[in-house]
């Protein structure tokens, strides 16, 4: 790990430099609705800074809401021309992630790159550098400290910045991060280890994963699930806003002559998600669907991939039309 | 030598009146523009508004929707329901900024072969003047997909 | 507030109601829907201007319908939704009691459909000023400006279907979007698919939407989708008369016709 400093005023120079070098920079942008989203920017002046959390996560950069897997076209010889985007992914930098989001990318990595790696994810992830900024403030929906993380966590990031007086403390964690710094190295000076503690937010800790890992073993049969899911409207907002939800649907769109195959987001909360071709739906009520979502995040991911897939960003709580609270639910079903 | 633009017009017509009227235009050897593809419905009341959007999505530049005159519907009231639906749908599309001048609604009876031919000619001329419906075809820009690299850099 | 809590406790205690749906405060001090089955839980109930969720949508949920005797803490929009649902014969298996607060701040308890109708007609709301302002602004734009506006807005949509999920009028057990033989509406969230979906949903709500505005308020992407249905229902009311969520009698504008309907665009 390399440790550097950069003055606050030089941040804009650095980011604009990345843009000039031809990289795609994806950063938080404030939209007219008052919500902040990750979008490609053309200059640092577009980047939003005064917000707690973006509405949606940055997972779109590696897992777009609509992804063309390939297009097909009948050609004159009677064969098919199949084209994909895999060799056209640009060098991309995501700027302004939160540590919880970076932990989300860490999970996505573990999920998509197993024995048969997802080539679409891999193509995008290989060209991606993640620059995270530690959290100096939080709200009552944030609970990263309950899920094995904290506001200054480096997990999943290539570079972690922490804002201090007049400057940013720069922890360069990976090779990718290092090559980004060296692209404009005159802006950075070396430093010894500094303490981040006083500059970090202090979200309330609701539970520890050590406790939950034990108690959740018996949670499936809990009578509390019905109450925990009563307010659920059965939409996909929580899944789509979540940095680690990866469920998708694959559809073919087109005619016999030409068309495309797309991958698009899907959500386990939607009522037809598990409907079989026979018409039987094993998760026919919202109670069962919500139970599945929470058990997946806090038990099945831990068992299958060794890591809890909830990162405590609180987006699900904020976007939910009834603000269903995931950590309150986990506490009540594991009592 | 560039091809001049020829619009694709899709016509949603009812079987009993307009389709028969179009047949009459044919048997009378009336010459009219060939840009139209006709889709036959039992009644205009069967025409789902989504079909019009689907037609545009699949490459139509203009649409004709036509059926029996009010009070003459083969199923008594299908065209009355259709008329209400078209009124609401048209104003909905206008509110969304959709160019409703690309859609022509009409009543053409089985005896009005000439009216059908005139309608097709007029619609083809006006859609030709409006040009290809690129606004809709260009809608499919999806962020983070590299099929349209210029769009990312925009 | 105390009056509301006491009344709710009383209804649960004496068995008039098995399940009460109302609002409570979450950790962020936001009013959120709550579901109470015991009288002692009634002290968590709150009710104020911030309580905007349209709770009538829960009346379609299996876990709620199982309770049969249901109490609903409702704002005027919710009561209108219930009126519209009753006129569409949707709540026949339930026995409903409504608790609301009138403009003078008094608790009102409505125990029958007729009492509900009388109250709704006496307290019928007008279009919200912020919605009217947006509608006027959009209608004053040129067509190209409106196209650019909706294209920009709809490109943000992720097709989470939250708008459909919070709408009390969207009660189809299998929605058109879930039909895949043929794939009527694309599942993918690119702009043309979003355009299809929102147009279709607005049309399916024609003459039925009561303009609670929830769909636009809760959209995670911040899209004002409620303006589409608001505009359409304004037009429908002007052209064909009849108010939504007004009367127990069925027969809404898009389900009927008059031979004398007038338009100026059919050749």
pLDDT tens readout for residues B44-78 = 999 999 999 989 888 899 999 999 999 999 999 99
**Residue B145 near chain A (CB below 8 Å):** yes
Torsion of CA C151, C152, C155, C158, to 10 degrees: -120
In chain B, which residues have their Cβ closer than 8 Å to the Cβ of A60?
143-144
Alpha helices by DSSP H, listed for chain C, are 2-13, 62-65, 76-87, 113-122, 129-140, 143-154, 162-166, 191-204, 214-218, 226-240
Q: Which residue of B has its CA nearest to A69?
A: B145
Q: Is B1 a residue whose pLDDT tops 80?
A: no
Tell me the pLDDT tens digit for each residue of A163-182. 999 999 999 999 999 999 99
Name which of C139, C143, C228 is nearest B99 (Cβ-Cβ): C143
**Residue B101 near chain C (CB below 8 Å):** no
A51, A203, A321, A326: best to mutate for the C interface, most C CBs within 10 A:
A321
- Chain A: nearest CA to B109, how far in angstroms? 34
Q: Which 8-state DSSP code applies to residue A7?
A: E
- Which chains would you list as touching B if contact means 3+ CB atom pairs under 8 Å? A, C
Are A71 and B153 in contact (CB < 8 Å)? no
- C93: tokens are 């298996």
Name which of C32, C156, C174 is nearest A231 (Cβ-Cβ): C32
* pLDDT of B2: 54
Name which of A24, A65, A68 is nearest B152 (Cβ-Cβ): A24
* Structural domain spans, chain B: 9-153
The closest of C264, C242, C246, C262 to C254, measured between CA atoms, is C242
* pLDDT of C253: 85
Three-class SS state of A70: strand
Q: Which 8-state DSSP code applies to residue C46?
A: B
Tell me the pLDDT tens digit for each residue of C132-141. 999 999 999 9
- Chain C: nearest CA to A195, how far in angstroms? 30
Which contiguous run of DSSP H or E holds residue A239? helix A237-241
Low-confidence ranges of chain A (pLDDT < 70): none
B56, B73, B97, B100: best to mutate for the C interface, most C CBs within 10 A:
B97
Q: How confident is the model at residue C242 (pLDDT cuts 50, 70, 90)?
A: confident
Q: Please give the ipTM for the structure prediction.
A: 0.92
Name which of B83, B141, B142 is nearest C263 (Cβ-Cβ): B83
**Residue A276 near chain B (CB below 8 Å):** no
Are A322 and C63 in contact (CB < 8 Å)? no
**Residue B93 near chain C (CB below 8 Å):** yes
Q: Which residue of A has its CA nearest to C167?
A: A233
Tell me the pLDDT tens digit for each residue of C64-115. 999 999 999 999 999 999 999 999 999 989 999 999 998 888 999 999 999 9
Q: What span, in angstroms and rounded, lies between the C-alpha atoms of A53 and C186?
A: 30
How do C19-25 and C31-36 pair as beta strands?
Answer: antiparallel
Per CATH, the number for B9-153 is 3.40.50
Q: How confident is the model at residue C5 (pLDDT cuts 50, 70, 90)?
A: very high
* Structural domain spans, chain C: 2-122, 129-255
Are A88 and B153 in contact (CB < 8 Å)? no
- C191-204 and C226-240 are packed helices; what angle lies between their axes, rounded to 10 degrees? 40
């Amino acid at each position: 790990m390399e440790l550097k400093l950069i003055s606050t005023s030089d941040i804009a120079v650095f980011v604009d430099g990345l843009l000039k070098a031809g990289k795609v920079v994806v950063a938080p942008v404030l939209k007219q609705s008052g919500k902040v989203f990750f979008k490609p920017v053309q200059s640092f002046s577009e980047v939003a800074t005064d917000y707690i959390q973006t509405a949606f996560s940055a997972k779109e950069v590696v897992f777009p809401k609509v992804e063309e897997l390939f297009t097909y076209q009948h050609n004159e010889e009677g064969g098919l021309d199949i084209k994909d985007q895999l060799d056209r992914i640009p060098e991309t930098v995501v700027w302004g992630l939160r540590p919880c989001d970076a932990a989300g990318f860490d999970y996505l990595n573990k999920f998509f790159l197993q024995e048969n790696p997802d080539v679409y994810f891999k193509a995008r992830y290989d060209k991606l550098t993640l620059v995270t900024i530690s959290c100096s403030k939080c709200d009552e929906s944030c609970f990263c400290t309950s899920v094995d993380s904290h506001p200054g966590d480096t997990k999943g990031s290539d570079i972690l910045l922490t804002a201090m007086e007049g400057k940013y403390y720069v922890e360069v964690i990976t090779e990718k991060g290092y090559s980004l710094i060296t692209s404009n190295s005159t802006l950075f000076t070396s430093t010894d280890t500094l303490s981040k503690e006083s500059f970090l937010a202090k979200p309330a800790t609701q539970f520890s994963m050590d406790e939950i890992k034990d108690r959740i073993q018996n949670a499936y049969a809990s009578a509390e699930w019905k109450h925990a899911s009563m307010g659920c409207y059965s939409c996909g907002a929580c899944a789509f806003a979540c940095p680690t939800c990866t469920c998708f649907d694959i559809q073919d769109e087109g005619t016999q002559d030409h068309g495309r195959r797309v991958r698009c987001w899907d959500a386990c909360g939607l009522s037809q998600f598990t409907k079989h071709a026979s018409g039987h739906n094993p998760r026919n009520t919202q109670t069962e669907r919500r139970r599945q979502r929470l058990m997946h995040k806090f038990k099945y991911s831990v068992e299958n991939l060794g890591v809890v897939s909830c990162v405590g960003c609180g987006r699900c709580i904020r976007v939910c039309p009834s603000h269903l609270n995931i950590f309150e639910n986990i506490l009540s079903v594991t009592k | 030598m560039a091809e001049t633009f020829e619009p694709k017009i899709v016509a949603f017509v009812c079987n009993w009146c307009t389709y028969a009227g179009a047949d009459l235009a044919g048997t009378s050897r009336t010459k009219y523009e060939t840009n139209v593809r006709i889709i036959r419905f039992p009644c205009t009341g069967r025409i789902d508004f989504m079909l019009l959007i689907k037609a545009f999505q699949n490459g139509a530049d203009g649409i004709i929707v036509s059926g029996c005159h009010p009070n003459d519907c083969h199923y008594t009231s299908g065209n009355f329901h259709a008329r209400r639906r078209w009124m609401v749908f048209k104003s909905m599309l206008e509110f969304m900024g959709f160019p409703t001048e690309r859609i022509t609604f009409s009543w053409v009876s089985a005896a009005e072969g000439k009216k059908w031919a005139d309608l097709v000619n007029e619609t083809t001329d006006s859609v030709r003047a409006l040009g290809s419906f690129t606004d809709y075809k260009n809608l499919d820009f999806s962020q983070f997909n590299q099929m349209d690299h210029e769009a990312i850099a925009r | 507030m105390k009056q509301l809590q006491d009344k709710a406790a009383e209804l649960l205690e004496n068995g008039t109601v098995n399940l009460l749906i109302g609002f409570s405060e979450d950790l962020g001090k936001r009013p959120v829907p709550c579901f109470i089955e015991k009288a002692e839980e009634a002290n968590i109930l709150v009710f104020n201007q911030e309580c905007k969720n349209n709770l009538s949508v829960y009346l379609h949920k299996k876990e709620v319908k199982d309770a049969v005797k249901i109490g609903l803490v409702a704002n005027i929009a919710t009561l209108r939704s219930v009126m519209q649902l009753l006129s569409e014969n949707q709540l026949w298996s339930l026995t409903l009691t409504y608790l609301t607060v009138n403009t003078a701040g008094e608790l009102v308890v409505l125990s029958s459909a007729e009492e509900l109708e009388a109250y709704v007609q006496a307290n019928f709301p007008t279009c919200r000023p912020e919605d009217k302002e947006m509608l006027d602004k959009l209608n004053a734009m040129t067509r190209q400006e409106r196209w650019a506006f909706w294209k920009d807005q709809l490109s943000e949509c992720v097709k989470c279907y939250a708008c459909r999920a919070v709408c009390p009028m969207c009660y189809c057990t299998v929605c058109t979007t879930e039909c895949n033989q043929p794939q009527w509406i694309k599942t993918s969230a690119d702009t043309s698919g979003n355009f299809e979906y929102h147009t279709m949903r607005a049309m399916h709500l024609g003459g039925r939407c009561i303009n609670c505005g929830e769909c636009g308020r809760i959209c995670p992407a911040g899209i004002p989708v409620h303006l589409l249905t608001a505009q359409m229902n304004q037009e429908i009311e002007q052209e064909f008369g009849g108010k939504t969520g007004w009367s127990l009698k069925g027969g809404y504008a898009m389900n009927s016709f008059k031979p004398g309907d007038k338009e100026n665009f059919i050749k």
